[in-house]
Amino acid sequence: MVHNKFSKFYLKTPDERLKIISKNLNNNNLIHFYRPNKNFDNKYVDELSENVFSYFPLPLSVIPNFIVNNHSYIVPIVTEEKGVVAGASIGAKLCSSTGGFKVKHDSPIMTGQIFLRPNKIISKKIIKEIIKNKKNYLNKLNNISKTILKDGKKIDDMGINKIKTKKGIRILVELDIFVNNSAGANTTMQVCEICSPFFEELLNSKALLKLQKNLALKRLVKSKAIWAKEELENNIYGISAKKLIENILELQEFAKVNIERACTHNKGIMNGIDGVAVATGNDWRILESGIHAFAIRKGKYSPLTNYKLDKNKNLVGEIELPLVIGIVGGSIDNNPFAQKSLNILGVKSALELADILASVGLAQNFAALRQMALSGMLAGDIKLEKTKYKH
């Protein structure tokens, strides 16, 4: 029988796991590399994941003087790409004279899905009867979920539909949950789990899936900014503001008709959004999946931003996207670095944080388009540090 050096590895402490890895690779240098400070407390890191033996550091930067809805923020961002921080800073700086970013948002609603396979045919009459008595059912469901739905959370609405699949007719129940200041993915999943037996009995069905929707279409955020032509005139490349704006608008149109370009266009937006999400302890993966799905909602993958001229020939930029974001719950509560980032931001709600994320995405996208319209990205990355727009 072969001895398994990693037997019950998940039960070990981070220090014990590191010693096992080091011994298995016959490399004691790993211990010195990953434990330069023997007093480092791995406990909180160990609580965030499985099989943890150390942590992976990334630069934590800030974007200062970032104006959203007339409030100036210091925005923490985690990224190893310095051009992202410089770009977002420039984007914010150049629209500050016109008031920065103006944002509107939906309520923090997450939708959960309970997908059921009926044991017998479910008539339309039964479904109509359930919808007719929806208020009573919502009261029952909130009562069932009362141990989960705390801090103002509640099931706000529900829908039920028949779905035709290759396997036959199935039933889809969707629960809209007000998740308040949490991202809400775990809450939504737990509510679906605890409510599924109710629907199994009600519909004489078997629940096959009880999960949140990552495409949060009822949690949209819209940010808008105006870049005055006078601000765009002052650049080190000698291009007029009129020509610069023309180039930006043309690049935007290119992204609309070319999927490959739209993909790169949106990746730049996510550079900023993901960085702030990581800094605040949020799940950037759920953001990526939902936002990219949103970009293809009309049947073709498209840019998330749009640019146009206002009546004064200034450049107006807009972004709309779903943002599953929170300031409490999940790993945020267990991560002191996330807590400190939220303290630096000074946000009081998940909606306020969502407003900032959308605006950082727009600022980053504008800066990327501006740089390409001026001189190209490579030259821009080299020169960004030298511009007068650095704070």
Residue 3 lies in a domain: no
| The total number of structural domains that make up the chain | 3
Pick the last residue of a domain from 161, 180, 212. 212
Note whether 115 and 182 are same-domain residues.
yes
Note whether 199 and 227 are same-domain residues.
no
Average pLDDT score, the chain: 92
Note whether 272 and 333 are same-domain residues.
yes
CATH code at position 133: 3.30.70.420
Contact 145, 179 (CB under 8 A): no
Residue 52 lies in a domain: no
CATH code at position 278: 3.90.770.10
Residue 2 lies in a domain: no
pLDDT(136) > 80: yes
Token output for 110: 């997450």
Note whether 233 and 354 are same-domain residues.
yes
Note whether 183 and 225 are same-domain residues.
no
pLDDT(48) > 90: no
Q: Which range of residues forms the domain containing residue 338? A: 60-106+219-386
CA 250 to chain centre: 28
Contact 138, 198 (CB under 8 A): no
Note whether 131 and 156 are same-domain residues.
yes
pLDDT band at residue 382, thresholds of 50, 70 and 90?
Answer: very low
Query: Which class for 80: exposed (0-12), middle (13-18), buried (19 or more C-beta within 10 A)?
Result: exposed
Note whether 181 and 299 are same-domain residues.
no
Rounded Cα gap, residues 175 and 304, in angstroms: 27
Token output for 52: 């943890």
pLDDT, tens digit (0-9, with 9 covering 90-100), for 216-227:
999 999 999 999
pLDDT(302) > 60: yes
Q: Rounded mean pLDDT of 95-113?
A: 97
Note whether 252 and 127 are same-domain residues.
no
Residue 53 lies in a domain: no
pLDDT(390) > 90: no
Pick the last residue of a domain from 167, 193, 212. 212
DSSP string, 145-194: TTTT--TT-EEEEEEEEEEEETTEEEEEEEEEEE-TTB--HHHHHHHHHH
Note whether 199 and 223 are same-domain residues.
no
pLDDT band at residue 37, thresholds of 50, 70 and 90?
Answer: low
Pick the last residue of a domain from 167, 183, 212. 212
Q: Which residue has the higher pLDDT, 278 or 376?
A: 278
pLDDT, tens digit (0-9, with 9 covering 90-100), for 81-92:
999 999 999 999
φ, ψ for residue 210, nearest 5 deg? -140, 95
Q: Which residue has the higher pLDDT, 334 or 222?
A: 222
Least confident of 22-36, 128-142, 269-283: 22-36
pLDDT value at position 332? 92
Please provide the size of the chain in residues: 391
pLDDT value at position 1? 40
Give the CA distances from residue 231 to residues 87, 98, 138, in Å, rounded to whole numbers and listed in that order.
15, 10, 53
Note whether 24 and 168 are same-domain residues.
no
Note whether 83 and 226 are same-domain residues.
yes
Residue 4 lies in a domain: no
pLDDT, tens digit (0-9, with 9 covering 90-100), for 249-258:
999 999 999 9
Note whether 332 and 195 are same-domain residues.
no
